Structures are given as C-alpha cells and as structure tokens.
Structure 1
Amino acid sequence: MNRIYFDNAATTSLDPQVLEAMMPYLTEKFGNPSSIYSYGREGRLAIETARKTVAKILNAHPAEIFFTSGGTESSNTAICASVHDLGCRHIITSSIEHHATLHTVEYLHKKNGVALSFVKLLPDGHVDLDDLDASLAKSKEKCLVTLMHANNEIGNMLDLHKAGEICKKYGAIFHSDTVL
C-alpha cells in the first residue's frame, strides 16, 4: 500500500541535506554546548557559527538571533517579550491564528491586563488590512500586531509587506508566525 503524507503544515520530513549537515553533531560532536570540555566547545562553536550565518543573511547582529525548539516557543517568546520588555499594552491579532498565538495573547490579556483586539476577516478568510489600519489608528497604547503568514487550516497567505508597512506607519511592533 502506498502511503501519502498530508500533514506538512504540522511537520515535514527531514531534508537529506539537513540530515547530512547534522550527522556529525548527532554521532560524533554531540557534547553539551554549555560544557567546557572539547565536545561541548565543538557544539558551542557550531551554534555560534550558525548564528553568525543567519545574522549575515538577515543583515542582523548575531546577538539578535535566538534558536528555539520550534514555532510555539518562538512565538511565545516574541509575544511575551513585546509585552514585558518592549512595553506593548495592546495586542491586535485575528481569530484564526494558531493556538500557540491565541493562547499566549489570551493569557497576557487575562493575567497582565493587556488590551486585546481581533482584526476583522474578509469573507474569504483573509485578514482585512483596512481594519488593521483603522484599529492601529484608534489605539492609544503601544501595539503589538501578531498575524500568521500562512494559515495552517485554510491556507490563506498574509501580505507580510503590506501588513508590515501598516504597522510601521503607527510604530507598532509586528510579529508573524512564519512557520510553514
């Protein structure tokens, strides 16, 4: 029987090139990167080299690059830091975000008193960017806008550039779950 995998939105098979690049760290250089012995130093060097490579690609400083265990941890970290460290007191999102985002923003709303607004959706499920603009225009608080790039259930794609430009216009922090 031929099997077909239809859940690539949740996880995908490992690319052979990624496996090849990782094999030394799975078989020979597997030390704890926080340790001071040679295995640990090799692991730490690999992480820092990867951090510098990603920073160069993104035109960022290596200290701005964080590695996490996955999309949920990444979104949770970015959203919580926007509230706790950057002073966002109003979060604007949509009702069709991934649960990793929705649960985090609802928690911050209930436990930290952060204002929470949901941008309208168009009949086809796309985010209404005119409503986003209007929501930001009337907000009196520093805002975090968190909208996913590709919806994991209906497949809609957000125009990241346009959404980012709207956020920039109002000085809002823009976070997007871009896990594909």
Structure 2
Amino acid sequence: MTSQEQLQSSEQAELAAKRTAHVEQLSNWLVQNSTIYNIFLTGIQLKSVVAGTVTSHLTLTQAHLNSKGGLHGAVSAAIIDFTTGLAIASWDLRDKTGASVDMHISYLSSAAGAGDVVEIIATAEKVGGSMAFVTILIQKLEVVDGEEKRTIITKGHHTKFVRGTAKPKADGEVRN
C-alpha cells in the first residue's frame, strides 16, 4: 500500500468514525427530547452507519405490540420517522433532518411478539437541496439452524422537506 493509499484509508476511517458518532449523538438526542421516541425507541441499537444508510436493531417489548401481539402499525411509523431521519443525517452529517411530507408504509407480515429482534435498514436514496427520499425495511431477525433469517415486516418510503437543514461548507456552499 502506497503512502497515498494509506492516507486515503486513514481519512476514510476517520470520516466513518465521525459519521457513526454523529448519528449516535443525534439518535440519543432525539430519544431524550421526544416523548414518543423515548417510549418506543430507548432500546434501539445502531449496528452500521455509512453515508446514507443506517442499520439498527430493536428488541420488541409489550409496548411495541398491538392487541394481536404483532408489531403495532403506529410503532412502525415511529420507527420509520426516526430512522429515516438518521439516514438523512448520515448522508452529510446534518443535525436537522427536515419535516415529513409523505410517508408510505406497507405492512407485509408481523413480528411474533415480545422478545423478537427487528432489524431496521433506512437508506437515503437522494438528499437534495429541498427534498430527501428515504426507503426503509423493518425485518424480523432470527437465527434458524445457525443461519440468520430475515422476514420483512414493513417496507416504507419517507419523503422529507430538508431545505435549510444542511450544514454550510467552509467556503459557504451547501453540501448535497
């Protein structure tokens, strides 16, 4: 590896650590400052943060379930609102992630109940000057015969108005 490649690798590792710390800090702030997030998402764990994509896990409790014992639709919506904002923040390290314009949720199956772990993958497909478009999967994660198995519970699309939320660059331009 050349010294130039080592420098680039070091810079990439530093940016990845900065991105993860930023999203973790925003996640903690949101949980502490929003009653709904505090009720439902206190136990959420970040598993992976890359530019535009955040993967997290949540162990379901009785508070997450509907009367039939599956993941409640309102909880799914709260998860989507929360984690899609984190994906937007991971795009360019912004602190504010905009206001919801549209949220589309498809409920495909149900988690079996309390104790199940769901994996949440939120991906910012595009974050522009005015709008951000994010897709999300909420999947039941289980280990069967030593193999990880994922069952899609919920798929969603979230559009947010983000004008004015990006941090200015040092030269005054806004990052895209």
TM-score, normalising length: structure 1: 0.27
Greater relative contact order (Cα 8 A, min sep 6): structure 1 or 2? 2
Larger Rg: 1
TM-score of the pair, normalised by structure 2: 0.28
